[in-house]
Amino acid sequence: MAMSIDALRELNYLAVDTIGDRTVNLMPLWDGEQWHSWFPADDRLLKLAMHDVVVGEYLGKSAAASSDWYVRFLAFAWQRASWPEVFHLWRHLTDDLHHFATCIAKLEHFHEQRAAIGHGVSAFVQTELEYLLVLARSVFDLQQELIARVWSRRVHLLDPVAEARRKGRTLPPSFSKIVLRDKHQVRTAEEIVTVFGLSPRLAGAYAGAGTFFCGLRDVRDAIVHSGKSVDMIFVMDQGLGVHRDLPLLRTLGLSLQPLEGSTNVVPLMPLVAHVVFGTLAACDAIIDALAQDVQFPPELAPDYWVFLRGFHNEALLRLKTVYEDAFRSSA
């Protein structure tokens, strides 16, 4: 809904004079003690009585609950890059993060209810895992489409040399077109600078994600285009597992310790954690580099953070612990 700038001035947390042509998402605000929310109506704001947030984003200087999640690339989107032509893409990315959490919670639920579900629980797990892999692949392309849309019209690099090299160039909306020379060859940062005119820092962030993305892409393509499923899900008291020789593990470069009492079955959840948090880390790194090298508008709400609340954020926190325990030694 279109509103005048003057109508937004009563929201003293907004830097109204720097909004420009960006879209302002009037999300709830947590002041540390209570919630505030407003609804636009006839070019004015109606203050709403609000008890709590069930699901969605909100602003705060601190999280209202320990399970509320700060996601850097989504916060950057709201604060500094919420232009109309890309705003819907940020909404899709937010939805995908909720889907990540839901997938994880479902995997936990399948294991907890394995006795009630019966022998078919492995099929439930297999289907959910395949969806998770496809979802992770799509997050990369959503973010890349967003960057590609603003690259020509909105971007101005701070480095004059890099800006002269970039000017007049477009970026492909497909992440693979940036990081892969062909189907399996990952471009170096220097190649990315030469071919696409990116700044060295941003090219380095793309190149750093290349190997992880290539593995994820190969796994996703095997499922979607070749009909290869994730075979042999083991449902054990210790947890869900897969065979240590599963091709998917090799493709993703994973070597996991077997579950207790087994020599050939490794736990599934570290694999899931690698996919989820590897994807988020890569997206954060690219947006961080973009934010450092590009002159973006100031933050819409200086000194505030954007938090994400979902039905299954607790499952994400548990998975993060799995990730840290499984990969701490290699970090």
Q: Who's near 232: CB < 8 A, 6+ residues apart?
A: 242, 243, 246
Cβ(319)–Cβ(104) below 8 Å: yes
Q: Token digits for 307? A: 């938090």
The CA distance from 56 to 322, in Å, is 25
Closest CA to 73 of 191, 211, 174, 205: 205
Q: What pTM value is reported for the model?
A: 0.91
- Per-domain residue ranges of the chain: 85-298+312-330
For the chain, 331 residues long, give each residue's pLDDT as a single digit of tens: 677 888 899 899 999 999 999 989 889 999 999 999 998 888 889 999 899 999 999 999 999 999 999 988 888 988 999 999 998 898 899 999 999 999 999 999 999 999 999 989 999 999 999 999 999 999 999 999 999 999 988 889 999 998 998 888 899 999 999 999 987 799 999 999 999 999 999 999 999 999 999 999 988 888 776 656 677 899 999 999 999 988 889 999 999 999 988 899 999 999 999 999 999 999 999 999 999 999 899 999 999 999 999 999 999 999 999 999 888 755 4
The CA distance from 133 to 127, in Å, is 10
Identity (one letter) of the amino acid at 327?
A: F
Q: Token digits for 107? A: 């995997």
